[in-house]
Structure 1
Amino acid sequence: MAAFAVINSMSSPAADSEFIGPDFRAAGETGSQGSEELNSPASEELVVAVGTHGGEPETGFNPITGWGNSREPLVQSTLFKRDSKANLINDLATDYTVIDDGLKWTVTIRDDVKFHDGEPLTAKDVAFTFNTAANTGGSIDLSMLEKATATDDYTVEFELNDPQSTFINKLVALGIVPEHAYSAETYGSNPIGSGPYKFVQWDKGQQVIFEANQDYYGQEPYFKKLTMLFMGSDSAFAAAKAGQVDLAEIPASYANQEVDGMKIVSLDSIDARGISFPMNPNTGKKNENGYATGNNVTSDPAIRKALNIGIDRQALIKGALNGQGKEEFTGVDKLPWGNKEAIFEDGNIEEAKKILTEGGWADTDGDGIVEKNGLKAEFTLLYPANAQERQALAVSVGEEAKKLGINIKVEGKSWDEIYSLCYSTPNVWGYGSLDPTDVYLRYYSKSYDPSTRNNVIMYNNSAVDNYLRTAITSPDQETANKNWQLAAWDGTTGFSEKGDASWMWMATINYVYIMDEDLDIGTPKIQPHGADIFGSILEWKRA
């Protein structure tokens, strides 16, 4: 893939930042080398176990409904990609321009690309993909897209209804589908794309098989056959130990295991875990979907600030994550739009207790829980019942909170239950994207939408709103990043702990894999929420 040259006033979000790629650490364990010769057909086949993050796509391998969004889709191509340092590079696209104050984007594409069925990929397919995704309300937010139009075979124009500079990230995220072979009902089960791998077979609940695309316009994949097994983390680790898979994602608790012939690789990520705090009191009011809103404890800023300052994040990482993570204070600390001035010292129990006392919270009955006006400082903290690391973090936070006189009751729920309770009950979420739109949707007051879970805490700060709008509409990346940062903390207010303490961010997690010691996965890309282990698939080979 050719390097991408920016030809307008916008630049890649991370191109000129101090952002550093994943901390790629391999602890290769001593073991016997396989007897297969490296050039044998078997050596060019790869079996991987996935499932702990992402896993089997519910609606199949359809980018419009979520497959591959912001990750390597394997079957489909995207207009742009990002390299290992998050710089923007071409995939299908060869160029792009932005005019009319950011309301019109024009992208030119390659003229040598074919779908797996031999049909040429043209600008009509690109326009069809984006219009379909926007009209069906897919997993990528395309509410800013008015329409996409193919002006010739290799040029597509995108007209926006809101001049969002972050639109470039949509051109990275969405895989292109063929208009002539697309059906919403069947495409996910039998996808056709133009990516490095062709779809072969999907045995639902068990596995999916891909084979290398011999007509791929880019670098030829080393591995000619790729089989993904869908299994839980414990089963995946057992399969790796038994020599049944070449690579498996495993829980952080297994990071120190030793398996003959295998190595453990831990990848740093931007995937942050944070707790949402409903900002309004519970007055009995319900939202548009009939769900309760507000929480009488977390609506008190003293509670939110005390937890943020009093919780020891290093203790959470060491205990709940087995050391496989990094401290996180704003949800975007590592990114170009993260504000270093918003970072604070945590684990300060005495300061946290002082904040509670000054806020009117005191333990008057000697039960170890502070109260205010007869209200106990206690609340329920939810986590997805099938997420081990979130459960561990929730339990650890509960233990830490006891030191402050705050009682947190931890409960695992299904996502359907969480989606009905999250407007009134704190929950452990995961976010991590190279698209700052995540920040906008999380804190912009008008982005609140029960159907999408945007701004679930119903946060409303006019100063923050102004910064967020300036950031997302600015054509100049430096100005945009400055305003993203000010939204977190401008010296007076912001969504971070130093301002409204709207969330409590805890850690970014590491993604841990066990793999054959002779497997070389190149330079991994930035690991977002849900991981992107296949982001460097074209570099993979047997060492």
Structure 2
Amino acid sequence: MFLRSARTHRRRARRARQGTALVAGAATLALLAACSGGGDGGGGSSTGASGDSATLVAYTGQSGDYQVNFNPFSPSRIGALGTIYEQLFFINKAAETEPVPLLGTEYAWNDDGTELQVTLREGVTWSDGEPFTADDVVFTFDLLASTPAINNVGYAGTATATDDTHVTFTFEAPAFVQGPDVLSGVPIVPEHLWADVDPTADVVENPVGTGAYVLDDFKPQAFTYAANPEYWGGEPAVKTIRFLSLSGNTAGADGIANGTIDWQTGPVPDIQNVAENFPGYDTLTAAQNQMVLATCSSVELGCSGPQTDPAVRHALYLAMDRTQLNQLAFEETASEISPTFALTSTQEGTISADVEEPVAPETADPEGAAEVLEAAGWAKGSDGIYAKDGERLTVTVEVVTGWTDYITAVQTIAQQAKAAGIDVQTAQSSWNEWTERRTQGNFQLAIDSLWQGPAPDPYYLYTYFFSSATGAPVGEAAGNNYARYANADVDAALDALKSMPLDDAEARQPHFDAIQAAVVEDMPYIPILTGGTTSEWNVGKFTGWPTEDDMYAFPAVWSAFDAAEIFKRLEPAEG
């Protein structure tokens, strides 16, 4: 199991009703699908844009034309995770369940956590007809190990094929915490096609995978998946999935209102009453993604601007009126956030007792913000805005055009910050431009969300976003740690946690204490609120969606591995 037993370390995720979709999550990483397709969505019938009961029309929040990219390791990919490229197992982060076998069927750790054995499914073929074998798994993990830029899960093992259906992962030290990522976080690619692929640069226009779908058509305004008739699990009932590229959240909400979109994860008016307002539709919410103002934080790695001063970051944190933000931007559907980034719903027990305020304040504290700034040498100018060494305290927040909830949030934060003597500007751009700036470090702040890992444990978020191993100098592509944060104490604590079973809470807590002390002090990601991820979907056209009683996958169309499982479960409704 992940540690000694999958049941001993995985806690049930809260089935929250609060929250609104974080469309911005479509642009973050590693495990989120930033894909969508285009077109006008067709007619306005409640059966969806195509009028075909076996075609599902999805919208992930994409605004602007697509640039073809089905490289599953690329931060600017537009699709393929889960649907085309499968992982070994699916692990549901929204509820306590056993891992679902995909390309793997069984797994087991040795007693000291240095060896993980995986049995592979027999009779699987790639969509080009070539057989899938253990060599493909070994090739994929060797690719991660030899290419740090794509190794966002921090894999540090050696994979060996003992025969066509068995792989052994060997680690130099106990690596229980790597289990969930190795088993569920890595898309397996075909060695016979990828031997000459540059995983950091090539866009892979014609993806070949083992998944339930294949790429059917791509246009800058749309792309379409078709059911894979040779899929090892049987051809799915949903025969076509079409991803739309629209102008943003408003167009997505219009699509739900007009019946031209079957599934989106994004805000709609009066989101608490979708079933009443949009006949044939329903919603489901889960609260996990933590909204932040991410900063380019490291002067040493080339970041520049007032946000590189931790005092400025703390002042912005204190300047926020989160109650007002929730009302104006998120329809009162977001929830509290901890500056430690441990979820207060399922990970509260890991929050350090040394953290004076384990939950971010709900109301603004402009006096506290002023005290922090003035202690760091900032002085308020005649225009009410602070300055230091001739530099006015002006910072720019990057946001994607069309992300109306985030745009409203940034505009609201700007008003609140002004009262604290901070000038916050907004820069809107396409998703592609936003992603490029974020990845290369050409930004001051960006509104985004941090995502949870494959198991309900804060270790994964910490290693994704705070490990120096996933950062990079400005001008070079960073991994998940695009804030370019580097702290030796955090790196040392993460290294120590790697060797510990996830269920050894007493031994692990001192290392969480060290991480949280640094994270709260340095604040490279400024906490906003925990966003409830809400999907609206067409229950009149398809059956089999997750429910509160059976949340078999995280309900977000942009959470690629989860969406792939949902697509496979759905069936056209009768009649």
TM-score range, shorter chain: 0.7 to 0.9
2:326 paired residue number: 317
Contact 1:77 1:175 in 2 (8 A): yes
Residues 1:20 and 2:14 are matched in the alignment? yes
- Listed as ranges, the matches of 1:446-525 within 5 Å are 447-450=470-473, 451-453=476-478, 455-457=481-483, 459-479=485-505, 482=509, 485-489=512-516, 493-496=517-520, 499-518=521-540, 519-520=542-543, 521-523=545-547, 524=551, 525=553
2:36 paired residue number: none
Which of these two proteins has the greater Rg computed from alpha carbons?
1
Contact 1:14 1:85 in 2 (8 A): no
1:398 paired residue number: 414
- Please tell me the residue identity of whatever aligns with 1:538: K
1:382 paired residue number: 398
- TM-score w.r.t. length of structure 1: 0.77
Q: Aligned pair in 2 of structure 1 residues 313, 369: CA closer, same or farther (>3 Å)? A: same
Q: Aligned pair in 2 of structure 1 residues 485, 142: CA closer, same or farther (>3 Å)? A: closer
Shift of 1:399: 1.0
Contact 2:334 2:529 in 1 (8 A): yes
SS of the aligned residue for 2:527 comes to strand
Q: Supply the distance in 2 between the matched residues of 1:356 and 1:166 (Cα, whole angstroms).
A: 37
Q: Aligned pair in 2 of structure 1 residues 45, 224: CA closer, same or farther (>3 Å)? A: same
Contact 2:281 2:539 in 1 (8 A): yes
- Please tell me the residue identity of whatever aligns with 2:294: S
Deviations 1:365-399 (A, max 9, x none): 55323456766444333334564433322222111
Q: Supply the distance in 2 between the matched residues of 1:510 and 1:253 (Cα, whole angstroms).
A: 15
Contact 1:311 1:347 in 2 (8 A): yes
Q: Aligned pair in 2 of structure 1 residues 484, 120: CA closer, same or farther (>3 Å)? A: farther
1:440 paired residue number: 463
Residues 1:229 and 2:244 are matched in the alignment? yes
Contact 2:69 2:204 in 1 (8 A): yes
Shift of 1:154: 1.0
Q: Aligned pair in 2 of structure 1 residues 297, 386: CA closer, same or farther (>3 Å)? A: same
Contact 1:63 1:176 in 2 (8 A): no
SS of the aligned residue for 2:504 comes to helix
Shift of 1:172: 0.7
1:113 paired residue number: 124
2:107 paired residue number: 96
Contact 1:200 1:209 in 2 (8 A): yes
Contact 1:165 1:475 in 2 (8 A): yes
Contact 1:70 1:172 in 2 (8 A): no
Q: Supply the distance in 2 between the matched residues of 1:67 and 1:176 (Cα, whole angstroms).
A: 18
2:54 paired residue number: 45
2:314 to 305, 329, 345: 305
Contact 1:44 1:222 in 2 (8 A): no
- Please tell me the residue identity of whatever aligns with 2:338: F
2:567 paired residue number: 537
2:263 paired residue number: 247
Q: Supply the distance in 1 between the matched residues of 2:309 and 2:446 (Cα, whole angstroms).
A: 14
- Please tell me the residue identity of whatever aligns with 1:482: Q
Q: Aligned pair in 2 of structure 1 residues 224, 314: CA closer, same or farther (>3 Å)? A: same
Q: Aligned pair in 2 of structure 1 residues 527, 487: CA closer, same or farther (>3 Å)? A: farther
Q: Higher relative contact order at CA 8 Å, sep ≥6: structure 1 or structure 2?
A: 2
Residues 1:131 and 2:142 are matched in the alignment? yes
- Listed as ranges, the matches of 1:267-278 within 5 Å are 267-277=285-295
- Please tell me the residue identity of whatever aligns with 2:288: I
Q: Could you tell which deviates more after superposition, 392-401 or 346-355?
A: 346-355
SS of the aligned residue for 2:335 comes to strand
Shift of 1:473: 3.3
Contact 1:467 1:487 in 2 (8 A): yes
TM-align CA RMSD? 4.2
SS of the aligned residue for 1:464 comes to helix
SS of the aligned residue for 1:77 comes to coil
Contact 1:381 1:426 in 2 (8 A): yes
1:9 paired residue number: 4
2:223 to 195, 200, 207: 207
Q: Supply the distance in 2 between the matched residues of 1:307 and 1:508 (Cα, whole angstroms).
A: 17
Deviations 1:123-166 (A, max 9, x none): 12222233345445564426644542211111112244675444
Deviations 1:465-501 (A, max 9, x none): 3322222332444348635632443xxx3312xx334
Contact 1:64 1:133 in 2 (8 A): no
Contact 2:439 2:482 in 1 (8 A): no
Structure 1 runs not aligned, ≥5 long: 1-5, 27-33
Contact 2:380 2:421 in 1 (8 A): no
Contact 2:175 2:500 in 1 (8 A): yes
Q: Supply the distance in 1 between the matched residues of 2:225 and 2:129 (Cα, whole angstroms).
A: 20
Q: Supply the distance in 2 between the matched residues of 1:374 and 1:60 (Cα, whole angstroms).
A: 44
Q: Supply the distance in 2 between the matched residues of 1:141 and 1:343 (Cα, whole angstroms).
A: 28
Q: Aligned pair in 2 of structure 1 residues 409, 65: CA closer, same or farther (>3 Å)? A: closer
Residues 1:216 and 2:232 are matched in the alignment? yes
Residues 1:368 and 2:384 are matched in the alignment? yes
Structure 2 runs not aligned, ≥5 long: 21-44, 353-357
Number of residue pairs matched by the alignment? 511
Contact 2:297 2:485 in 1 (8 A): yes
Shift of 1:506: 0.7
Q: Supply the distance in 2 between the matched residues of 1:153 and 1:337 (Cα, whole angstroms).
A: 40
2:190 to 142, 166, 178: 178
Contact 1:270 1:332 in 2 (8 A): no
Shift of 1:188: 3.7
Shift of 1:60: 3.9
1:31 paired residue number: none
Q: Supply the distance in 2 between the matched residues of 1:380 and 1:356 (Cα, whole angstroms).
A: 20
User: Identity of paired residues, percent?
Assistant: 20
Q: Supply the distance in 2 between the matched residues of 1:177 and 1:419 (Cα, whole angstroms).
A: 24
SS of the aligned residue for 1:189 comes to coil
Q: Supply the distance in 1 between the matched residues of 2:80 and 2:287 (Cα, whole angstroms).
A: 13
Q: Supply the distance in 2 between the matched residues of 1:144 and 1:153 (Cα, whole angstroms).
A: 22
- Please tell me the residue identity of whatever aligns with 2:290: A
- Please tell me the residue identity of whatever aligns with 1:20: R
Contact 2:310 2:523 in 1 (8 A): no
Contact 2:3 2:176 in 1 (8 A): no
Shift of 1:81: 0.6
2:281 paired residue number: 263
- Please tell me the residue identity of whatever aligns with 1:469: D
Q: Aligned pair in 2 of structure 1 residues 137, 293: CA closer, same or farther (>3 Å)? A: closer
